[in-house]
Chains A and B, each alone.
Chain A
Amino acid sequence: SKQVLGHALWSIVEDGELSTVCYRPEGLDRLVQQTKFSKKELQVLYRGFKNECPSGVVNEETFKSIYSQFFPQGDSSMYAHFLFEAFDTQNNGSVSFEDFVISLSIILRGSITDKLNWAFNLYDINKDGCITREEMTEIMHSIYDMMGKYTYPHMKDSAPKEHVDSFFQKMDKNNDGVVTMDEFLETCQKDENIMQSMHMFDNVI
């Protein structure tokens, strides 16, 4: 059962298929309640959202193309895919404004635990509660792909793998090959750098 927050206004039918669905989000007041953004902030966010996605929802292709504009040198499509999965909490293949703003609220205004939770969720591709080596390797590859070819020092093929190894070494306390939520939270909360950097983008909006 899918819970759709906004109203699906009307569908554009092309060649007999439902190609686009236009969404109008819930009222501003409701969103203010659900997120930790103020009215003004939501207004600014919505304006940007609507400008780029007039239909009210963003699908994965648009999402990827928007994200790739910020990383001209590398290939950000994989990471954008993982992000999309993380934002698309309803798992319906599109991110509506509510999804968008709720996730942003967690990232920017949530408690440190919420943020770490969100990050864990991002890494946990199959959402089974633990991060396996394979999942982390994929994530790491996607991040390294964003750097592109022209880097200094040269991007060795083993660089992501080494990074994954160091990650597991740091996080996997009981050495069982996976990182659970508790291990993740515990390790991150002990790391000064991570704690500090999680707050870095708080005032982005």
Chain B
Amino acid sequence: MAAGVAAWLPFARAAAIGWMPVANLPMPVAPAEKNKRQDELIVLNVSGRRFQTWRNTLDRYPDTLLGSSEKEFFYNEETKEYFFDRDPDVFRSVLNFYRTGKLHYPRYECISSYDEELAFFGIVPEIIGDCCYEEYKDRKRENAERLMDDQEDNKDAKLPNMTFRETMWRAFENPHTSTMALVFYYVTGFFIAVSVITNVVETVPCGSVPNQKEVPCGERYTVAFFCMDTACVMIFTVEYLMRLFAAPSRYRFMRSVMSIIDVVAILPYYIGLVMTDNEDVSGAFVTLRVFRVFRIFKFSRHSQGLRILGYTLKSCASELGFLLFSLTMAIIIFATVMFYAEKGSSSSKFTSIPASFWYTIVTMTTLGYGDMVPKTIAGKIFGSICSLSGVLVIALPVPVIVSNFSRIYHQNQRADKRRAQKVQKARLARIRISKTGSSSAFLHSKRNGLFNEALELTQLPYKMNLSNQGSTEDEKRLSKSTSLLESQHHHLLHCLEKTTNHEFVDEQYYQQSYLEGGLQNYPSRSPSLSSQDGVTGTCCTRRTKKHHTPLPNASAPAHMQPLTHTHTHPQGLQELSTIHIQPLSTSRSSLNMRVDEPAPLNCQSSQITTAIISIPTPPVTTPEGDAHLPAGPTHQNVVKVSAL
């Protein structure tokens, strides 16, 4: 419930008097306010700075430190105040949260200290209001990255129990891990350079023998170059095979870009070996040698920048495509115009439209080789228009690409922005849960409420039969499991139920009973304590407050607590709710947990299993009353029932 609105609960309850004359059934008993205190000021001394507020203000959020009895640990008897040895500046935000119901994140505050304070006071950061949430998340992400960067330096620590294969793979991927890796890294780099230089020098005309035309070095020193080439390819092949061996997923490795480059780099050599002295395919053979230049791409393993460049070009594909498209359009237009303009002139180089393409491209990119120039006046006019527009057409998409590049560059550094998306969804889900949690909390505590009444009013003697863990502890847990505010709210809803003679149920249950056309074996629920018929209810209630522990004897936690389950929210959204259940010790010998057979109405929902728990036996019977639990594997909770 929102903070301010909690103050209006008395009004809402008073207004319920309008239902009384029309109700046909007797109303449930109002929750007793045991020690109704006058609202008092309490003093919170935070490192010397005194804050004062009403006790009621703090009680609005009973699952935080200040709202629960946990603050009693900090009570100073002599000065009659609560002393906290924490940062008073951050405490301002914390206290404002109680006052206004909104948590704000001050910009000047360090993110980790803020997080620590929130954790100390038991406040979930997801509650931060929308006004400050973006800032908070951004700062948190930056901090996480910084931590990650620090951690990467520590990654070099050798993990024990790594197989030889894993060690090799780590050595390949991260050359700084060991000396061997570094040596290997430099050796391969050297040979790549050698191979590339060899390819280049091969074509340089070497000093010529007199009376013979210039020959390229490659033909002059054929053997030497061949040996060099062989050596390089040998190294590359060995490297490729070693990587293939060490790769954790060979199939994925073979599909990766780097390995394709490797293969393309060494393939020409082997094909050349096979195809020598075959004049027919020598043309193709020559072409194949071109592919040797791909070896230069092997450098991208050695250079992070090259990889990023490649990646960004790939992601700028749409902008580049746009650039290409607009250029093509312009080229075609101007080539056509130039062709027809120059058609008249004699000895014109503009023999066809495709021939004019060359002129257009050279002019638009402001290269201007001068091998093709218009001679007619019209041609010159259109030529100048062409060059002017060329500047524009090229200049326009380029900033887009540049900004794209910078964006992607930064994005590449913030790889976990994708994770933030999921966190955002989870956060919204959690807030939604907490906002609508009141309805499910009511359904949940309806059972508790009944039991509370049973406990208080009938003074059951079986309580004496409880062993060790003690009934008082259970009793305290019972009475504390809902705050006074909550129990009053639930009482209000209960009155409405009585007025209309209908009950609130969970959507799942509603749909189930709708399908089944009414439950035959749904035992009648009676509010009066004397007739303790079975209690039924849906068990799939979400609890968001972590101190909403299930009542002790329904120690579902002991049994099957998966801590999360997906629940179909009434609005139809799938949400992941993390329920914090305090694991209760199973040593409560008084509780016999027995999994009942699944009640006939099991929700067939694909994700959750909500079983209707029907307790055939009255809750207050024997000390060995069993807590019947839903048998579903993913169940949460609580239907409290049964005897302690």
A binding-site residues for B, Cβ under 8 Å: 40, 44-45, 47-49, 51-52, 66-67, 69-73, 79, 82-83, 86, 100, 104, 107-108, 115-116, 118-119, 122-123, 139-140, 143-144, 146-155, 159, 163, 166-167, 184, 188, 193-194, 196-198, 200-201, 203-205
Contact = CB atoms under 8 A, between A and B. Distances in A.
A107 B15 contact: yes
B505 to A, nearest CB: 5
B347 to A, nearest CB: 77
7 contacts: A66-B8, A86-B18, A119-B17, A119-B21, A149-B510, A194-B20, A204-B14
Given A52-B7, A201-B17, 16 more contacts: A48-B8, A70-B1, A72-B438, A72-B439, A82-B18, A100-B11, A104-B11, A108-B14, A119-B21, A123-B18, A143-B499, A143-B500, A147-B504, A150-B504, A152-B509, A155-B502
Contacts of B10: 45, 48, 204-205
Q: How large is the interface on B (under 10, 10 to 19, 20 to 34, 35 or more residues)?
A: 35 or more
Given A71-B496, A188-B21, A194-B21, A52 B4 contact: yes
B489 A70 contact: yes
B505 A150 contact: yes
B268 to A, nearest CB: 72
Interface of B: 1-2, 4-5, 7-27, 30, 33, 36, 38-39, 436, 438-439, 489, 492-493, 495-497, 499-507, 509-510, 513-514, 518, 522, 570
Given A47-B7, A51-B7, A119-B21, A67 B12 contact: yes
B489 A197 contact: no
B513 A152 contact: yes
A153 B11 contact: no
A102 to B, nearest CB: 12
Nearest to A167: B22
A167 B501 CA distance: 14
A71 B2 contact: no
A151 B510 contact: yes
Contacts of A119: 17-18, 20-21
Contact of B507 (A83, A150, A184, A203): A150
B98 to A, nearest CB: 12
A123 B507 CA distance: 31
Contact of A150 (B7, B9, B510): B510
Contacts of A47: 7
Contacts of B438: 72
A189 B38 CA distance: 34
B503 A152 contact: yes
A70 B18 CA distance: 16
A30 B300 CA distance: 85
A69 B2 contact: yes
A197 B20 contact: yes
Contact of A143 (B8, B19, B36, B514): B19
Contact of A152 (B16, B495, B510): B510
- The residue among A52, A71, A152, A167 with the most chain B CB atoms within 10 A of its own CB is A152
Contact of A144 (B2, B500, B509): B500
Contacts of A67: 12, 15
A28 to B, nearest CB: 16
B196 to A, nearest CB: 70
Given A72-B438, A163-B22, A166-B24, A151 B11 contact: no
Given A40-B38, A150-B506, A193-B26, A104 B7 contact: no
Nearest to B11: A104
Contacts of B570: 150
B7 A143 contact: no
Contacts of B497: 147
A70 B27 CA distance: 18
Contacts of A159: 500, 502
Given A51-B4, A119-B18, A197-B23, A70 B492 contact: yes
A99 to B, nearest CB: 12
A200 B27 contact: yes
B5 A66 contact: yes
Contacts of A108: 14
A83 B15 CA distance: 7
A123 B5 CA distance: 26
A60 B39 CA distance: 29
Contact of A198 (B17, B496, B522): B17
A59 B438 CA distance: 25
Contacts of A201: 13-14, 16-17, 30
Contact of B22 (A143, A147, A155): A143
A73 B438 CA distance: 9
Contacts of A152: 502-503, 505, 509-510, 513, 522
Contacts of B507: 150
Contacts of B20: 119, 194, 197-198, 200
A118 B493 CA distance: 21
Contacts of B16: 201
A71 B489 CA distance: 9
A161 B496 CA distance: 17
Nearest to A162: B501
- The residue among B17, B20, B21, B492 with the most chain A CB atoms within 10 A of its own CB is B21
Nearest to B498: A197
Contacts of A107: 14-15, 17
A154 B514 contact: yes
Contact of B436 (A72, A149, A166): A72
